[in-house]
Amino acid sequence: MPEKKKRRITTYLAAILFLLGVGFLAIEPLQNYMIEQQSKETLTVDAADFQENQSHDGNYDFSSVEEVSVEDVLKIQFSSQELPVIGRIAVPEVGLNLPVLKGLSNEHLLTGAGTMKPGQKMGEGNYALASHNMTDPSLLFAPLHRAEIGMNVYLTDGKQFYVYEIKQHKIIEPTEVSVIEDTDQSLVTLITCNVDGIKRLLTQGILVETVPVDESDEIAAHFNL
């Protein structure tokens, strides 16, 4: 093969490899952007729809939860299905503000916080939520890694604000499912993966106050309402 032609082929191959490399580097930022936009869009669901969405049949199959993939994120973007938003969650001190969705489908966990048990009611029992941890510390449940004992977790179902104070914040084994079981206390339990995905981060708070939504502009501000 002539030397000139060989150099040209080498140049083309180098250019292709460079473009592929740039493409791979761009995937994660693009994926994160789509997740962020999906969460923000879903936050615009009117509170009047929360009660209606409670009739949705949630998926509580833990085995259906998978690692975040570009394919799953794209499916959400092009899906015409309305997600069953039943409330909102905020932890203002770490910048967490997400929709609460009924059920544990991967689609839900890539949009906001999914309920972990059927029949859950905010302010009653052990209200357990899960979402994905992300490399971007501002997305989904990744901000919980900066949470601390004593911070407040706020939930709303459109009628009431539920204020919880964080009492536990620690890494647990994936097999410690007892943390989502009901107790004599009214709790909120938030579960996500730790940094390497092998274990789980548990953030758990106890209910300290319930306030009607029209009686606290201060709490409403935590949800950007």
**Integer Cα distance of 173 and 205 in angstroms:** 19
**Integer Cα distance of 66 and 106 in angstroms:** 7
What does each C-alpha distance from 12 to 3, 6, 16 come to in angstroms? Answer: 14, 10, 6
For the question of residue 132 being annotated catalytic, the response is yes
Whether 121 and 183 have beta carbons less than 8 Å apart is answered as no
SS3 108: helix
**Integer Cα distance of 29 and 134 in angstroms:** 11
The catalytically annotated residue of 132, 145, 169, 222 is: 132
The catalytically annotated residue of 56, 108, 169, 193 is: 193
Catalytically annotated residues: 132, 193
